[in-house]
Amino acid sequence: MLFDTHVHLNSHMYKDDLKKVIARALEAGVTKMAVIGFDAASNMRAIELAQQYACIYAVVGIHPSDARSATAASWPLLREQLQHPKVVALGECGFDYYHDTSFNDIQRAVFKQQLAIAKELDVPIVVHMRDSVQDTYDLLCQEGKGLTGVIHCYSGDVAMMHQFLERGFYIGLDGPVTFKNAHSVHEVAKAVPIERLVIETDGPYLTPSPYRGKRNEPAYVRYVAEKIAELKGMTYKEVCDITTQNGLNLYRIKES
């Protein structure tokens, strides 16, 4: 039993064979998937998929790279979408300084607005943090007090990881943990308490070995689990069972 807590099945890259992708995931033991939105259209598509498939849940938000698409109308719509019974979190939201730093102020304003909505509605958040570890942590301290969620695709060091854990966040690890030379990620995987770890694909991106370079999909989350089991000296089943429960706890999903 596996929970891929972060995948973009709403991406156009899955359009032609989405049913096959989901079937392969289920065959690989992936019993739950959280489909992440990044703008108005992808948020709606995530909700549509969650309505269509019992194994899928939706997360809705405005990605920092799409922050310039936010308008005054974005916030009432986001509040409305967060009321949907299969929407389990707000995200992904945060900072991304990798591609373009010319609109950092807009990213900050959009991130702050989403933190305020998450507090207002008492929902967990999915945080995107790329080349922005300190700014992300600082804003969460300033504007996100009381919020919980996950630092998706964690890219900081072990010391900063403990700071996020102290604030009640989970740590999300995905394909890079399987890369041979990803020493920093390996150290994080060893150090993070297993009860505060969730596993992700971030499909169609960040494909793990041995499929690196190809399109990623939820079925491949097992390679993330296998590598974490190896690094932590645990069995594959232990990692699967514990991280699945962590995913349920993170997204406040109560199984019937």
Q: Tens digit of pLDDT per residue, the chain (256 long)?
A: 899 999 999 999 998 899 999 999 999 999 999 999 999 999 999 999 999 999 999 999 999 999 999 999 999 999 999 999 999 999 999 999 988 888 899 999 999 999 999 999 999 999 999 999 999 999 999 999 999 999 999 999 999 999 999 999 999 999 999 999 999 999 999 999 999 999 999 999 999 999 999 999 999 999 999 999 999 999 999 999 999 999 999 999 997 6
pTM over 0.85: yes
Question: What are 96's strand-pairing partners?
Answer: 130
User: How many angstroms separate the Cα of 171 from the Cα of each of 8, 14, 129, 174, 200?
Assistant: 18, 26, 12, 10, 10
Please choose, from the candidates 135, 139, 99, 96, the residue with its C-alpha nearest in 3D space to the C-alpha of residue 116.
139
User: How many angstroms separate the Cα of 225 from the Cα of each of 125, 127, 195, 249, 250?
Assistant: 23, 21, 14, 18, 18
CB distance 75 to 117 below 8 Å? yes
In 3-state terms, what secondary structure has residue 153? coil
